[in-house]
Amino acid sequence: MPEQSEQSPLDLTEGDPFGPHNLPYGVFSTADEPGRRRLGVRVGDHVLDAGAAAHALGSPYAALLAQPSLNPLLAAGRTAWRDVRRALTAWVTVPAHRPDIEPLLHPLSAVTLHLPYEVADYVDFYASEHHATNVGRIFRPDGEPLTPNWKHLPIGYHGRSGTVVVSGTDIVRPSGQRKAPADPAPVFGPSVKLDIEAEVGFLVGTPSALGERVPLTAFPDHVFGLTLLNDWSARDIQAWEYVPLGPFLGKSFATSVSAWVTPLEALDAARVSPPDRDFALLPYLDDSSEEEPGGFDLRITVRINGEIVSEPPFSTMYWTAAQQLAHMTVNGASLRTGDLFGSGTVSGPEVHQRGSLLELTWNGQEPLELPDGKRTFLEDGDEVTLTAWAPGPDGTKVGLGEVTGRIVPAH
């Protein structure tokens, strides 16, 4: 009987969320060359060495892909993004390329994944009406839950790019000042209200000039793709410091992102219209006549120590990423390659769709019941994992990877 050949890593099972319809980008290193970082593309449960593949097949983009970071490809612009994606799709689907491609595929279990881009600036928004309403009801129970400006502009703040870390990085519990309303004076110590925020991050490729506005229609010319994001939040530190200038130390200690960046082109089938707006928007934010809907149908799952605690739907977000980009630059602020902006906490209308522990436990009044005990906020040793998928072409699913972080005690 003839010997059966080993199955190729390119022979994916039907419905694999990381098939050729997806092809997210990352950066990896191998055990034999731990100091050499390479640009990779995920195919099933393997990662393709994109630079080596481009070199082997004589691609004009070989130099661009033989880099230790995604930033050169980000800066190359939309035409290059499209051309490289088309080439990658052919490399992993055309049988004639298999002899060249198969030796360049590395099992995910055998590589180390790194932060795939150098973060320039980091901005975080507050775009979920359900989240903002819940927070308003928690902290202003006798007043209007939304501030007067909320439905007229995407509210945001500038964060700290140097503390954006890749999935798998431990999160050190932050210390700082905190003061409960009844306390006579503030105290210093580790946060006792450490929280998560399930978000989606958008990665800027093409920069813009200082003084130049980026209109809604230019969103796909500047934004390369998206990634899962967890904006860790120390609610007690935040509550004491944020009036009048907003979040500072309660947010800046860490923001975790997935090791994978999904190109916008992979999400064409996931485009949806945002919720109906209650007020007419100013022209630079008015997307009512846009041909392509600005929302994305992304299904997020939040787990704490392996237990599902929430499933926030990104399709409910009031403000779109295109509107956020337009607002972020309407004053002339420039974009830089590697800019990252977060959507803000993703929450839906149902209790099991809330994207933060602040909401899920109603600021600690309604603890979560987990197999290893009750939770109001995160305890040392807790591991939080966000995963997500989006509808793809022809009934497929587009996997968005995961972002995981484990809480370790304050230093």
Of 272, 150, 128, the residue nearest 200 (C-alpha): 128
In 3-state terms, what secondary structure has residue 11? coil
Distances (CA, A) of 340 to 122, 164, 203, 226, 321: 5, 10, 5, 9, 11
Of 24, 70, 2, 20, the residue nearest 393 (C-alpha): 20
Of 212, 243, 365, 377, the residue nearest 309 (C-alpha): 377
The yes-or-no answer on residue 131 being catalytic is: yes
Which of the following is catalytic: 106, 130, 131, 327? 131
In 3-state terms, what secondary structure has residue 246? coil
Give the span between the Cα atoms of 353 and 351, in whole angstroms. 5
Residue 392: how many CB atoms within 10 A of its CB?
A: 20
In 3-state terms, what secondary structure has residue 143? coil
In 3-state terms, what secondary structure has residue 152? coil
Assign residue 327 a region (left: φ > 0; alpha: ψ between -120 and 50; beta: otherwise).
alpha
* Beta-carbon contacts of residue 369 (< 8 Å; ≥ 6 apart): none
Catalytic residue numbers read: 131
